[in-house]
Amino acid sequence: MDFKYRVFKIIQIGNKEDLLSRSFDIALSSVIIINIVVMFLQTFEGLARYDTLFDIIEAVTIFLFCIEYGLRIWTAEYLYPAESKPRAVLHFLRSFDGVIDLLTILPFFFLSGFVVFRMLRVVRIFHLFRINARYDSFNVITSVLYEKRTQLASSIFILVILMLASSLFLYNVEHKAQPDVFKNAFSGIWWSVSTLSTVGYGDLYPITPLGKFMAIIITFLGIGVVAIPTGIISAGFVEQYNKLKATGIESDISTILIELDSAWLGRTVQEVEKEYGVDIVMVRRDEQTMMPRPDYKLTLHDAVAIYNRTTTKK
C-alpha cells in the first residue's frame, strides 16, 4: 500500500480493526483532553506556580495539533479524489474540520494576547466531536439531528418568538412596579429564557397580580414548547431504528464496492440517493460498518449496502 494513502487511512478513517488507526484516535483524543484540562487549570489563581509547566504542556499539544493539521493537508487528495491536489487542499482548508484545526492552532501563535481570541481555544473541544462522529453511536445522533434540522429550526424559531413576546409582555406589565429590574424590553429576555426553559432562577420575577398571571401562562407554554424538539428527536431515533431493521431484508439489499471509475466516488450519500433512486442503508469502510449521514462522502473501497427504490442507473 502506498505510504501516503496508508497515512490517510490512519488519520482520516476511524477503523476499529486497524490498530494504528485506533491508536491514533485514542492518542489524539488524549491530547485534546489534556490540552483542555490545562486550559481549565490555568484559570485558577491558586495554581499560578505551575504556569510554566502548563505552558510547556500546551506548547507540546499544539505542536502535535500542527503535525496532525499538516498530515491532513498532505493527504487531502485522498479525501477529495475527484478534485486536483491544489483544489483538494483548498477544499479541506475551507471545510469544517479544516477551519476547526486552524482555529485550534492560530490563537496560540498569533492571537494569545487578545482575550477575545483566546476564547477560540474552546473550539478544540470540537475535535472530540469529529473523532466520535466516525463511530456508530455518535453517528446515529448526528444523523438524526441532520435529518430533522428543518423541524428543529422551526421549533427553535417558535421558541424565540415566544421568548421575545413574553419579554415584551412582562416589561409592559412590570416596568412601573419594578423600574430598576425591568428597565427595558431586553431586561426581560433573561427572565423569558429561564422561565420558558422551566429553570426559573428567581433573580427576576413579577410582583404584580397581572404579571404573575401571565408568568403562569408563559411557564406552561414553555413546558410545551421545550417538549417539541424532544419529540422531534425521539421520532428521529425511531426512524433510524426502523431503517436499521429494514437492512435485515437481505433479498432487497445489494452491495456496491466504490472503485476509482465509480460515478459515486467522492459524492455524498444524499447526492447518490437523489440521482440514482436508491437508499444507502449502510456503509462498510475497512472493518467498520456504519449508518451514513446524508453529507457522508463515499471514498475509495467503501462497500455500500443499497436498497433499490427504482431501477438503478449504471
The residue among 9, 25, 20 whose CA lies nearest residue 302 is 9
User: Domain extents for the chain?
Assistant: 3-134, 149-244, 250-308
Are the CB atoms for 277 and 271 separated by under 8 Å?
A: no
pLDDT at 311: 44
Where residue 221 falls among pLDDT bands split at 50, 70, 90?
confident
Is pLDDT above 90 for 233? no
Q: Which stretches does DSSP call E strand in 175-295?
A: 253-257, 278-285, 288-290
Is pLDDT above 70 for 2? yes
Are the CB atoms for 163 and 181 separated by under 8 Å?
A: no
In whole angstroms, what is the distance from residue 197 CA to residue 211 CA?
Answer: 18
- CATH fold of 149-244, please? Helix Hairpins (1.10.287)
Q: Which helix or strand (DSSP H or E) is residue 156 part of? A: helix 149-174
The 10s digit of each residue's pLDDT in 163-186 is: 888 888 888 888 888 888 888 777
Where residue 70 falls among pLDDT bands split at 50, 70, 90?
very high
Is pLDDT above 80 for 197? no
What share of the chain in percent tops pLDDT 90?
4
CATH classification (class only), 3-134:
mainly alpha
Cα 171–225–161 angle (5° rounding)? 45
More confident position, 240 or 233: 233
pLDDT at 76: 87
Q: In CATH, which of 3.30.420.40, 3.30.70.1450, 3.30.70.870, 3.40.190.170 is domain 250-308? A: 3.30.70.1450
Paired with 256 in beta bridges are: 304
Q: What is the CA radius of gyration of the chain?
A: 25
Lowest mean pLDDT among 127-136, 231-240, 272-281, 282-291: 127-136
DSSP string, 49-85: GGHHHHHHHHHHHHHHHHHHHHHHHHTHHHHSTTS-H
What share of the chain in percent tops pLDDT 70?
75
Lowest mean pLDDT among 45-49, 161-165, 197-201: 197-201
Euclidean distance between the first and final Cα of the chain, in Å? 29
pLDDT at 31: 85
Q: What is the mean pLDDT of the chain?
A: 77
Where residue 251 falls among pLDDT bands split at 50, 70, 90?
very low
Is pLDDT above 80 for 194? no
Is pLDDT above 80 for 201? no
pLDDT at 148: 81
Inter-CA distances, 261 with 9, 43, 283, 303, Å: 20, 54, 18, 14
Pairing of strands 303-308, 288-290: unpaired
Where residue 60 falls among pLDDT bands split at 50, 70, 90?
very high
Is pLDDT above 80 for 281? no
Residue 275, C-beta contacts closer than 8 angstroms, at least 6 positions apart: 313
Return the amino acid letter for 106: L
**Is the whole-model pTM more than 0.75?**
no
Phi-psi region of 259 (alpha: psi -120 to 50; beta: other; left: phi over 0): beta
pLDDT at 56: 92
The 10s digit of each residue's pLDDT in 83-136 is: 888 898 998 898 877 887 887 787 777 655 554 555 555 665 665 555 555 555
